[in-house]
DNA sequence: TCATAAGTTCGATAACTATCGAACAATAGA
DNA sequence: TCTATTGTTCGATAGTTATCGAACTTATGA
């Protein structure tokens, strides 16, 4: 757990990003990061999901290049990689977040 | 096979669309529809994939609301549901197709 | 030093998915 | 009517994924 892997901007793949965001729980996490600069992982613990499952989702998002995880003490802070995503896929996150905010994400 | 199911515009879900497009083969199919109004399914048969697998991908795309399948005789013509997708998720397909066209889709 | 807290990793399981070949259905054309 | 064409459906399999609880790691604070 010493080092958390983050892909470089150029390594971020569309397929991986779309896949990561196609899960309602993960999309929910990303929506929370929309307005915020940064959030502790624990900020999502109101969703009724086991913490090991959260960890799995964070890993999926992180390895897809969607979020950045900063380690500080025994907390981790996550943030949306807005600049990287927007540089690589202009307009993508904006349209996804807008649609999600309007409740068109799932069921 | 009498009727092919297509969701109404309002039933198209972001999660399902993102999932459908997160598969490289399906994204490839959608890219071919970008410039074209309509294509016969057979137009994708150069991809080295079994036809039953294609059928599966077409079904996934269709049920997610990404493509429309029109039956004519013994052929099926598929088209991108541009208007519906753009009405529901403004800018989404444009940004996805642009990124895909620049080769940022996968590996 | 010891207990607590925050997340990750492990092991297991159930569900889902991509893939294929074979069989099937429906239509067009000879 | 018979045959070839187009695509779907079926059955099977291998791989992947979401989920959980338990064990583990690291750091904080008493």
Tell me the C-alpha distance between B46 and B13, whole Å.
30
Mean pLDDT on A86-93: 97
| Per-residue pLDDT, A1 | 54
The interaxial angle of helices A14-21 and A24-35, nearest 10 deg, is 100
Inform me whether the pLDDT recorded for B42 exceeds 60. yes
**pLDDT, tens digit (0-9, with 9 covering 90-100), for B48-106:** 899 999 999 999 999 999 999 999 999 999 999 999 999 999 999 999 999 999 878 87
Tokens of B11: 């039933």
The pLDDT confidence band at residue B8, using thresholds 50, 70 and 90, is: very high
Q: Give SS3 for B5.
A: coil
Tokens of B64: 């997610």
Walk me through the domains of chain B, giving residue ranges and CATH numbers.
Answer: 11-99 (1.10.10.10)
Nearest-CB residue to A88 (from B92, B104, B107): B104
Around Cβ A56, how many Cβ atoms within 10 Å?
A: 14
**pLDDT, tens digit (0-9, with 9 covering 90-100), for A22-69:** 999 999 999 999 888 899 998 887 778 999 999 999 999 999 999 999
Residues 6-35 of A with CB under 7 A from strand C: none
What is the pTM (predicted TM-score) of this model? 0.93
**pLDDT, tens digit (0-9, with 9 covering 90-100), for A72-85:** 999 999 999 999 99
Whether residue B20 contacts residue B61, with contact meaning beta carbons closer than 8 Å, is answered with: yes
| Per-residue pLDDT, B1 | 54
Gap from B52 CA to D9 C1', Å:
9
Whether residue B79 contacts residue B46, with contact meaning beta carbons closer than 8 Å, is answered with: no
Tell me the C-alpha distance between B92 and A98, whole Å.
10
**Contact flag, residue A58 CB and nucleic strand C, below 7 A:** yes
């Amino acid at each position: 757990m010493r080092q958390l892997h983050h892909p470089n901007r150029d390594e971020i793949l569309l397929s991986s990003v779309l896949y990561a965001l196609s899960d309602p729980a993960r999309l929910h996490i990303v929506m929370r990061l929309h307005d915020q600069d940064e959030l502790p992982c624990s900020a999502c613990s109101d969703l009724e999901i086991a913490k090991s499952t959260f960890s799995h989702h964070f890993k999926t998002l992180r390895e897809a290049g969607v979020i950045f995880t900063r380690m500080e003490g025994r907390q981790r802070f996550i943030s949306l990689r807005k600049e990287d995503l927007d540089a690589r896929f202009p307009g993508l996150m904006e349209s996804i977040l807008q649609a999600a905010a309007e409740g068109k994400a799932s069921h």
